[in-house]
Structure 1
Amino acid sequence: MELIREPDVAVNGDTPTMRLFSLLERIAAKDQLVSLQSLVEETGLPKPTLHRMLQQLEGAGLLIRQPDGRHYGTGQRLRRLAENLLLNATHHGARHAVLRHLVDELGESCNVTTLSGNEVVYLDRVETPEPLRFYLRPGSRVPIHSSASGKLILSQMSPAQRRKLLAHAPLKQYTPKTVTDLDALEEEFVRIRRDGFALDDEEYLPGLVCVAVLVPYATGRSNLCVAVQAPVMRLTPDKALQALPALQRAAEAISRIDAEGAPESTDSISS
């Protein structure tokens, strides 16, 4: 899986507000922290102008300055805005229809997830009709290191990025199968990146098995996953692998929906 460089976003606009917004777009498109000097070199804007813009965004809670005083990252207010947009856009829309079709096909609970900070957020979910199930609603959060979606998203990062993120995440031992050793996790990330899917084999909740795939995007690294999960008595790790073709079809359907911005018939998902 090749990582694609994020597209450049020009810092321009007809009003000061739109110029601030375009700077925010540029920063949000990066997978690393930015500094005043790096933005000066990238944009060609005067340093005093950029410094003032960064101060305004920081004051609004949209950016946060790092402890070194030189680097900036996205703030909690901006991340919450992104989560709310995704949550509200998917609950009754075309993505939800894809999930419903996927649950009909697999017979188990399915969800769409994304990374937020050092946690995985459930953006949308459709429950199985089976009476025995693990109930998680949209907006629920699970640990990054013990979830299939979290490990899948982490596998796209460089080893240095992963270790930096995991070093600040509480690598709690949730079950006897939870992996908390960074070296062991790194070996698993290599395997996940090679194979294109990730398993949660009772690593977060005893008796729960989950398999996830990425929603593919041609414009850059994906931060969206589709997953199915069920009690181990119905979904063993071996059986979970049999669900991969259906998961991949659903992921591709969601990718097309997001790219086109239009609903898609669920009939095409099973083709």
Structure 2
Amino acid sequence: MHEEVGAEWQGDPEFMMSLARGLAVLRCFAEQERPLTIGQASQMTGLSRAAVRRCLYTLVRLGYAAQEDLSYVLRPKILSLGYAYLSSSSLAARAQPILDHLRDELGESCSLGVLEEDEVYYVARAEAGRIMSIALRVGSRLPLYATSMGRVLLAAKAREEQEAYLDRTELAAFTPKTLCTKSALVERLGQVRDDGFAIVDQELELGLRSIAVPVIGKGGVVAALNMGTQAARISAADLRTRCLPALRRGAQRLGMIAMM
């Protein structure tokens, strides 16, 4: 069973439950990545089909979605909501040239991510043009515990916060290599904090290897910068010797922006 959308705010007279439900339905499009039916959105959110129908009807009337037979798709107007964040965040808006430079220098895709709702959110990305099985883009979300950026962001938290996150998270094994026990992850996060970088070697997907470093701004770590590659192309040792120095230079430049 799904937890009722906004259940933790029940009884708060200032909380708009209808808005929370509408946003929950809107987020289904990001997870589905294809036309969405009322039944699919109902199953994904735990809302009744009637509630989902009203949310989708409202999105259509406002021009953010369109109906195609029995399914719904987003319309270009929805981009204005995401662009509002990108244009207001100096770090996300100004990161692209740095990511583009890193991609050209390393020949691999590079990304900038932030911690949000127990996940790492991609806020900027420079694609290398190679085909990878995981389709990543601005707005993508991945689990903290199984990604290099996520571990960098978690390692910056106090031990108590790390353990609380691990306690409330379903630690699934994406591959046979995935670290998915609390004790092993706490130990690895301590190593990441000491080293100042994280390498995830085929833990999220077999054949995928990545390295990430923290971006330090006002108040500490504000984001993570990473490079992802196919394991057959770059060894873990090369990630440390060839890629890590370039990522740290990029993170330093981004940190200067974050300080502004």
2:91/2:257 contact within 8 Å kept:
no
Q: What amino acid does structure 2 have at the position aligned with 1:116?
A: E
Q: What amino acid does structure 2 have at the position aligned with 1:201?
A: D
Give the aligned partner of residue 225 of structure 1: 224
Q: Give how far 1:159 is off.
A: 1.7
CA offset digits 1:12-31 (Å, max 9, x no partner): xxxxxxxxxxxxxxxxxxxx
Change (3 A) 1:183 1:248: same
Change (3 A) 1:92 1:254: closer
Give the aligned partner of residue 205 of structure 1: 205
Matches within 5 A, 1:83-162: 86-88=85-87, 89=89, 93-131=93-131, 134-162=134-162
Cα distance in 2 for partners of 1:194, 1:215 equals 15
CA offset digits 1:195-248 (Å, max 9, x no partner): 10011111101100000001111x312130110001001122111112111101
Cα distance in 2 for partners of 1:213, 1:203 equals 17
- Give the TM-score normalised by structure 2: 0.65
Q: What amino acid does structure 1 have at the position aligned with 2:118?
A: N
Give 1 or 2: higher helix fraction: 2
Give the aligned partner of residue 51 of structure 1: none
2:92/2:124 contact within 8 Å kept:
no
1:86/1:123 contact within 8 Å kept:
no
Higher relative contact order (CA 8 A, sep 6+): 1
Cα distance in 2 for partners of 1:122, 1:198 equals 17
Extract unaligned runs of 5+ from structure 2. Answer: 1-11, 25-80
Cα distance in 2 for partners of 1:129, 1:91 equals 24
Give the aligned partner of residue 240 of structure 1: 239
SS of 2:245's partner is helix
Extract unaligned runs of 5+ from structure 1. Answer: 1-54, 65-75, 77-81, 261-271
SS of 2:259's partner is helix
- Give the TM-score normalised by structure 1: 0.63
Alignment RMSD: 2.8
Q: Which moved more, 1:99-108 or 1:126-135?
A: 126-135
1:87/1:139 contact within 8 Å kept:
no
Q: What amino acid does structure 2 have at the position aligned with 1:220?
A: G
2:115/2:150 contact within 8 Å kept:
yes
2:214/2:225 contact within 8 Å kept:
yes
SS of 1:216's partner is strand
Q: What amino acid does structure 1 have at the position aligned with 2:95?
A: R
Change (3 A) 1:249 1:60: farther
CA offset digits 1:149-178 (Å, max 9, x no partner): 111111111221111112111211100111
